[in-house]
Structure 1
Amino acid sequence: MKLTLAALHDLPAAVDRPTYFRDQLSAGIVHVGLGNFHRAHMALYLHDLFQKGRDLDWAIVGAGVRPADSVVRADLAAQDWLTTVCELDPAGDRAVVTGPMIDFLPVEEGNGPLIRRMTDPAIRIVSLTVTEGGYYVDSSGAFDVDHDDIRHDAANPDTPRTVFGAIIAALRARKAAGITPFTVMSCDNLPENGHVARATVTGLARLIDADTANWIDKAVAFPCAMVDRITPATSDREREMIARTYGIEDRRPITCESFRQWVLEDSFSAGRPAFEDVGVTITPDVSPYELMKIRILNGGHAAMAYPAALLDIHFVHDAAVEPLVRGFLDKLEREEIIPTVPPVPDTDLATYYARIGERLENPGVADTIPRLCQDGSNRQPKFILPTTRDRLADGGGIEGLSLVSALWCHYLCGLSEGGRTIAIDDPSADRLRAAAIAARTDPRAFLDLDFVFGDLAQNAVFADSFARHLRALQQDGTAKVLRGYIDGA
């Protein structure tokens, strides 16, 4: 059956559905970026809250600023803004139809409808999932004042091209009308996302009007958040699975892992829903949770990706049960990564990592090793090398961490152990491959990539360990080196 409000009562008994009614809801949030992650994460938390009969004045109005968002809008409009979320778990899948979104604004050049809706006093939060690369940050991590979109919005503040320009236009209108500013809440998976959002909004505002920029900096809250849930892209495979298993015709269903986590800084300009009542961790400081996730989860992904690729393993769940890859990861986490993570409130780090292991083994998610290998020149400096630096500073061993760097270098030569050609998916692919090939005779050629290693290349302990591991990989192969590390050879 086609997914619509009228069809809710006819859904199979195995499918959870809203117990609240659409006419009970009123808008409190404008969310920009209606991708799968948002609808399987923040929207699902709000659905759970509405199921309790709580905070029904915090419903979502969807929005987008790209032409492609119009296609999403049309698909969701045809099913009354409802979404089927299927949580995949080896112990049993769960399907739920969610309905916390009550509208999706027309996508227009100049973003007039978006600005007008964000000016509405009822809107108290503007939330974002615009991807990690959507915040107009340059290679140094600073706000990119020279980007064409930013230049356009600075020159045309009333008809902006970006979501940040639209946010500024709405905040200016609210300020002029004496309306309390809304909170800007980033839900993107990037470190210190609230600080990044603040820097982008105030940076652009400063190009338009310094007084407005100063007011935004003082009056508008930009809470940081740590978000976590594996949510693959939807294809015909997922649509067919939902139709076959649950009898639902959903144009944009979502499949995801059963695990989800949201840690949110309690900093809001105009109130918030009672997120803590549905499992969100509300805290004055997100940073301990964020460091835990970056080092243990993201670092684990970055560590297992290249040995798995070299061993011709395609799926993450297969790599997670391969003894060499899992043995390497478990020892690395236990002996070198987890010891660098400070205590996290109400969290046992060993238990946290054990849960990650279960998530990695979930075959339903069908996450891939090639995805984990993408963009290594960005991920290694964020997820692996800071841990290496901390271990060196404390006098700790780095055998496993330096082996991660050597495995990445060996992978970048472009050939798996089975002779398969590896396609390098990285903005700096040509430069990386050339350095990796040169490292066959001179390991220093790879460590001299300053934009990756920085001053770490000058540390003799790291450089010597890296070179030793790289020579072993070249001479003995990945499998033998992994076994030697696991056995302590």
Structure 2
Amino acid sequence: MTEKLSLAGLDRLPDRVARPRYRRDDLSPGIVHFGVGNFHRAHQAVYLDELFNAGEGRDWAIVGAGVLDAEKVGRDRLAGQDFLTTVVEQDSGHISARVTGAMIDFIEPGATDAVIAQLAAPAIRIVSMTITEGGYFIDPASGRFDPDHPAIRADAANIAQPKTVFGLILAGLMRRREAGTPPFTVMSCDNIPGNGHVTQDAVAGLAALVDADLAKWIHDEVAFPNGMVDRITPATTDRERSILRDEFGVEDAWPVFCEPFRQWVLEDRFPAGRPALEKVGVTFVDDVSPWELMKIRILNGGHAAIAYPAALMDIHFVHEAMEEPLIRRFLEKLEREEIIPVVPPVPDTDLNDYFSLIERRFANPKIGDTIARLCQDGSNRQPKFILPSAADRLRAGQSVTGLSLVSALWCRYCTGVSDSGRIIPPNDAAAERLKEAALRAKDDPGAFLALSDIFGDTGKSPVFAGRFASNLRTVWEKGARATLESYLAGSL
């Protein structure tokens, strides 16, 4: 016997499924969130759910806001179950399920006027987002906001009916300014160094195209705290829906499976107020950059490092990659010899212990995280997770053998065929351009490094270019497995 997830059916759920200890009528909106995907529902929404369960902050409920047409499917699934989500935590010795109810509405994509009206409502004091690294209109080579992007130019020309997240945020801020309503705080929850600064650059940069005084007001009056977020949350498939149904008797159209670990470190800059998230485990600090850099370089960089050799070796799951001795030893050597030495100190944290924790998390066999997910969007992830470490080492005159190998493996992956001949489906917005450059790079490695919007000055370094070229030739000649063996033997 199974129970379809709904508000009316909460009391009929099996006893072992935790559920909200508050009523929907007890909640009122305080946050608008863009990018209602798995990570948000397993992270920010879980922290708020715990706070509401403790009897606090119930005027900080979430209203989701869609922008992309692709979000309609998820929105409809959540609407069909009263915006509830089942969050399942798993590791090798533990599985638990809880229903969260922190989201009370989700404005569908295309409802521009409704989104702007919600943003302008005085009760909304925080606007948050998980729109992925590629959603910020950043020039990868410079790391700066690109005001000439066609979507940004289009919004600037018609800011009353914007199409981007930043256009909507700006339109909401403009309406609040006109009404004399204090601005909301804008909080990025994406894995980008200085994500608050990056978000401010995008909103103010778009504003500068509309009105210089508006841009100055945003710089002076709107808060954009930086934050570090962490929880491994794979995509939902029929596999996860079946486990939830069979293990817990719950029919959820869009459950979230995740690891037990989670972390959130935030700069405490919320002039319009904030929920008391410190009571449920969020760490508030004056400067988040040490934690942020640690996570981006060690965890996200580690994901990028194992993704491409695993894909070339036809490995499906992340934990299976960690069970392959060559990949696990490659990750450890790369992290301890090239990445961790250029990560600045973090208060009360041993970086080697942190990496050991990351290893255990990657190896969790119950998560079902896929190599394909880690491989996504490499054109945005390489410049943020791998190349900055390489740049730091080059400036210090240090070896980049392992880091350049990561880029070489990515290049080989971009050709779209694994070592066995299996077709690799494209999963990058720039996939066609990447494939063309990667195929040319087989004979001319510089053709891939010539993607200056990705590699920037690092690709122009003779040291990096030389190591990349040598590594790429080895990958083509010997395959990923033998290349890793050479790297581990010190003969690459």
Q: TM-score, normalised by structure 2?
A: 0.90
**1:295-314 equivalences in 2 (<5 Å):** 295-314=297-316
8 A Cα contact 1:180 1:269, kept in partner: no
**1:403-422 equivalences in 2 (<5 Å):** 403-412=405-414, 415-422=417-424
Pick the aligned partner of 1:264 from 263, 266, 269. 266
**1:41-52 equivalences in 2 (<5 Å):** 41-52=43-54
Q: How far is 1:329 from its partner?
A: 1.0
Q: In 2, distance between residues paired with 1:473 and 1:108?
A: 46
Equivalent residue number for residue 127 of structure 1:
128
Q: How far is 1:428 from its partner?
A: 4.6
Equivalent residue number for residue 64 of structure 1:
66
Equivalent residue number for residue 486 of structure 2:
484
SS across alignment from 1:387: helix
Greater Cα offset, 352-361 or 16-25: 16-25
SS across alignment from 2:58: coil
Equivalent residue number for residue 96 of structure 1:
98
Closer, same or farther in 2 for the Cα pair 1:197/1:443, shift >3 Å? Answer: closer
Equivalent residue number for residue 379 of structure 1:
381
Structure 1 vs Structure 2 CA RMSD: 2.7
Q: In 2, distance between residues paired with 1:419 and 1:166?
A: 45
8 A Cα contact 1:195 1:224, kept in partner: yes
Runs (5+) with no aligned partner, structure 1: none
Pick the aligned partner of 2:241 from 230, 239, 242. 239
Closer, same or farther in 2 for the Cα pair 1:106/1:327, shift >3 Å? Answer: closer
Closer, same or farther in 2 for the Cα pair 1:419/1:39, shift >3 Å? Answer: closer
Closer, same or farther in 2 for the Cα pair 1:88/1:467, shift >3 Å? Answer: same
Q: How far is 1:382 from its partner?
A: 2.5
User: Does 2:118 correspond to 1:117?
Assistant: yes
Whichever residue aligns with residue 325 of structure 1, its letter is I
SS across alignment from 2:403: helix
Q: How far is 1:393 from its partner?
A: 2.5
Q: In 2, distance between residues paired with 1:73 and 1:445?
A: 42
User: Does 2:350 correspond to 1:348?
Assistant: yes
**1:408-447 equivalences in 2 (<5 Å):** 408-412=410-414, 415-423=417-425, 425-429=427-431, 432-433=434-435, 435-447=437-449
Q: How far is 1:450 from its partner?
A: 3.6
SS across alignment from 1:126: strand
Q: How far is 1:106 from its partner?
A: 5.8
Pick the aligned partner of 1:292 from 294, 311, 325. 294
Q: In 2, distance between residues paired with 1:440 and 1:152?
A: 39
8 A Cα contact 1:26 1:56, kept in partner: yes
CA offset digits 1:214-267 (Å, max 9, x no partner): 212211111112222222232333223222221112222211222222221211
Q: In 1, distance between residues paired with 2:68 and 2:475?
A: 46
SS across alignment from 1:31: strand
8 A Cα contact 1:107 1:113, kept in partner: no
Greater Cα offset, 129-138 or 283-292: 129-138
Whichever residue aligns with residue 192 of structure 1, its letter is G
8 A Cα contact 2:244 2:250, kept in partner: yes
Q: How far is 1:68 from its partner?
A: 5.0
Q: In 1, distance between residues paired with 2:115 and 2:26?
A: 23
Closer, same or farther in 2 for the Cα pair 1:220/1:434, shift >3 Å? Answer: closer
Q: How far is 1:323 from its partner?
A: 0.7
SS across alignment from 1:384: helix
Greater Cα offset, 32-41 or 66-75: 66-75
Q: In 2, distance between residues paired with 1:456 and 1:134?
A: 23
Whichever residue aligns with residue 121 of structure 1, its letter is P
Greater Cα offset, 155-164 or 384-393: 155-164
Q: In 2, distance between residues paired with 1:141 and 1:102?
A: 36
Pick the aligned partner of 2:215 from 213, 216, 220. 213
Greater Cα offset, 329-338 or 404-413: 404-413
Closer, same or farther in 2 for the Cα pair 1:324/1:149, shift >3 Å? Answer: closer
Equivalent residue number for residue 399 of structure 2:
397
Equivalent residue number for residue 368 of structure 1:
370
Greater Cα offset, 27-36 or 433-442: 433-442
